[in-house]
Amino acid sequence: MAQSPGERVDSSSADTPQSTVSNVDDTTGASREVSSQEPQYAAALNGTGLISMEDVGKRVLLSTTVGGGWDSNPSNATDGGSSGLYSVSPYIGFRGASPKTQYIVQYQPTMLGYMSNLYTRQTLHRTSASFIGNPSERWKWGLNVSGSYGPNGTRLLASQQTVAVGEVPGTGSGSASYLSNAGNITYVVGSIDLSYRKSERDTLVLSGSNSFSSISGFNQQGSVAGGKLSYIRDLSPALSFTSYGQASHFYGDLDCESFGVGGGMRWQPKERTFLSVSGGPQISTHTCSGQQLGFTYSAAFSARVSRKSQFYLLSDYLPTVSYLGPGLWQRSASGGYQYQVTRIGVLGADVGYVGSDTLTAVSSYRGTFWGANYGFRLHHGIAVSYSYRGYITDTGETSYKRNLAQFSITWTHNAGQVFQQSSY
């Protein structure tokens, strides 16, 4: 699961959140408004969970993960042979904050090798940056950028990437987005948001986003640029309603436009219970392939079941450019559960699904992943993790399965202050 015993979820800030900014979903590139009643977190690239953006001060973040394991089908062939594997993932980040600005910049490469000489060494590069500004009581802005480059199969063996579901870290549907023989994939996504608080209850948010995907194995690339204007009405500190209008322009291998309107609500009745639902009609120009009229939606729910357990659920149906390349519509869902088994050990499980019939790379795609993880903390910033992940992919013409078992040790500098605080 995305959350490990090495994460930090700073519940002390949950009662007095300050910032308004948009998050970026790593699979869709769609910007999503975050209520001013919500604390802000950035996902740690090394898979250790969420980092609070609200702590004032500066800090260098360092960690190194070494691991080994087994891959049932590195080549994704119907009769491909299995192999042992090893990996090294150094990580560096820098976080800074003041009363009016917060930012974090991160970079992590994952270097992977196989015991079998049939498979070559691979390296995946990941980087991200998040900035939040609060120049006045009424104006707020946010900027988020993330990118990755490397062999597509290496992403499955790298650290699972975290998305914030309220205050619970989860695994996005991008974990099920995988095309065999895709070669190297370049994926960059970013968003910028400007928020104006008209009154104590009314907020206007103007946001823009752009995502880019290039798949060397299929000689394809595509982008989508989007704009969105939202009006947020806070009925109480726990409940708000949103109405919006949005437009997207696909360019590259897919060239068309898409327009939509809709509404939604966000509800957080208590700490660690969160519900967000939005949706509306979306119409695309005739140059778009596939369905021109559809209903987009996005839903997220997370809750603490008990003092030692929590879960999350995600689902959406959106126009997107993702790890699968350009496509007009993509449906996805994921969910997970986490339980604190001992004072230092956490057991988690995740499952997810992605499907699309409008991709330019393949005629159709169905991908499913599931996984389980047990991690525990030791002294001196050391965390140990055992994990299993399974994948099933069907492109209409070919289908394949892949199973991965891994063991890893992560050392984190300043662990007691940044990553090593349990969320329970």
**Percent of the chain scored above 90 by pLDDT?**
45
Residue 362's pLDDT band (cuts 50, 70, 90): low
Do residues 209 and 29 make contact, with C-beta atoms less than 8 angstroms apart? Answer: yes
Report the range of poorest mean pLDDT among 249-253, 318-322, 331-335.
Answer: 318-322
Q: Please state, rounded to an integer, the average pLDDT across all residues of the chain.
A: 81
Residue 20 has pLDDT above 70, yes or no: no
Q: What is the pLDDT of residue 178?
A: 73
In the Cβ-directed half-sphere of 156, how many Cα atoms lie within 13 Å? 33
Residue 390 has pLDDT above 70, yes or no: yes
Q: Is residue 366 part of a domain?
A: yes
Q: Is residue 342 part of a domain?
A: yes
Task: Using alpha carbons only, give the angle 385, 391, 397 rounded to the nearest 5 degrees.
Answer: 160
Q: Is residue 5 part of a domain?
A: no
Q: Is residue 297 part of a domain?
A: yes
Q: Is residue 25 part of a domain?
A: yes
Residue 210's pLDDT band (cuts 50, 70, 90): very high
| Spatial CA neighbour of 6 closest among 56, 69, 65, 53 | 65
Do residues 385 and 377 make contact, with C-beta atoms less than 8 angstroms apart? Answer: no
Q: What is the pLDDT of residue 14?
A: 30
Q: What is the pLDDT of residue 35?
A: 45
Q: Is residue 381 part of a domain?
A: yes
Q: What is the pLDDT of residue 194?
A: 97
Count of the separate structural domains present in the chain: 1
Q: What is the pLDDT of residue 138?
A: 93
Q: What is the pLDDT of residue 416?
A: 44
Find which of 167-176, 213-222, 330-339 is predicted with most confidence, using mean pLDDT.
330-339
Overall average pLDDT of the 90-95 stretch = 92
Could you identify the residue written with the tokens 């992919």? 393
Report the range of poorest mean pLDDT among 82-86, 173-177, 261-265.
Answer: 173-177
Overall average pLDDT of the 118-125 stretch = 90
Residue 32's pLDDT band (cuts 50, 70, 90): very low
Q: What is the pLDDT of residue 170?
A: 81
Token readout for 273 is 């219970």
Contacts of residue 371, Cβ cutoff 8 Å, sequence gap at least 6: 1, 160, 171, 175, 349, 350, 351, 387, 388, 389, 390
Q: Which residue type sits at 166?
A: G
Q: What is the pLDDT of residue 412?
A: 87
What is the per-residue pLDDT across 153-176, written as a single tens digit (0 to 9) for each? 788 888 777 777 877 878 776 776
- Domain span at residue 101? 11-412
Q: What is the pLDDT of residue 327?
A: 67
Q: What is the pLDDT of residue 25?
A: 42
Residue 201 has pLDDT above 50, yes or no: yes
Q: Is residue 15 part of a domain?
A: yes
Report the range of poorest mean pLDDT among 170-174, 311-315, 398-402.
Answer: 170-174
Residue 388 phi, psi (nearest 5): -135, 135
Q: What is the pLDDT of residue 52?
A: 75
Token readout for 302 is 């997370």
CATH code: domain of residue 233: 2.40.160
Q: pTM to 2 decimals?
A: 0.83
Report CA-CA distances (Å) from 61 to 64, 158, 187, 392.
Answer: 11, 19, 24, 35
What is the per-residue pLDDT across 33-78, written as a single tens digit (0 to 9) for each? 444 445 677 778 887 777 777 765 668 889 999 999 999 988 776 6
Do residues 371 and 389 make contact, with C-beta atoms less than 8 angstroms apart? Answer: yes
Q: What is the pLDDT of residue 421?
A: 37
Token readout for 33 is 């408004």
Q: Is residue 90 part of a domain?
A: yes
